[in-house]
């Protein structure tokens, strides 16, 4: 199992890329709505993983 530091780092990376995807989605919304929707879907999947990571981090912090 990854350490708390690794999980926290992964959480920050996920959030960074979610922000990047959302920004690019906003730029492409008018010119390429299909690609914008795809980017939104990818951001949603990453967001779901962030929720899972957040729960796991909370459990690890509670155990310590």
* Residue range of the domain that includes 10: 4-63
Residues in the chain: 64
Count of CB atoms situated within 10 Å of the CB of 22: 14
Q: What would the pLDDT profile of 10-61 be if each residue is shown by its tens digit?
A: 999 999 999 999 999 999 999 999 999 999 999 999 999 999 999 999 998 8
Domain count across the chain: 1
Q: What is the 3-state secondary structure (H, E, C) of the chain?
A: CCCHHHHHHHHHHHHHHHHHHHHHHHHHCCCCHHHHHHHHHHHHHHHHHHHHHHHHHHHHHHHC
C-alpha distances (whole Å) from 23 to each of 2, 31, 55 are: 30, 14, 26
- The pTM for the full model equals 0.86
């Amino acid at each position: 199992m990854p350490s708390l530091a690794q999980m926290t780092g992964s959480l920050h990376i996920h959030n960074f890329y979610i922000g990047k995807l959302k920004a690019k989605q906003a730029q492409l919304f008018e010119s390429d709505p299909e690609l914008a929707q795809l980017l939104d879907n990818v951001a949603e999947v990453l967001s779901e993983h962030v929720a899972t990571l957040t729960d796991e981090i909370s459990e690890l912090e509670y155990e310590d």
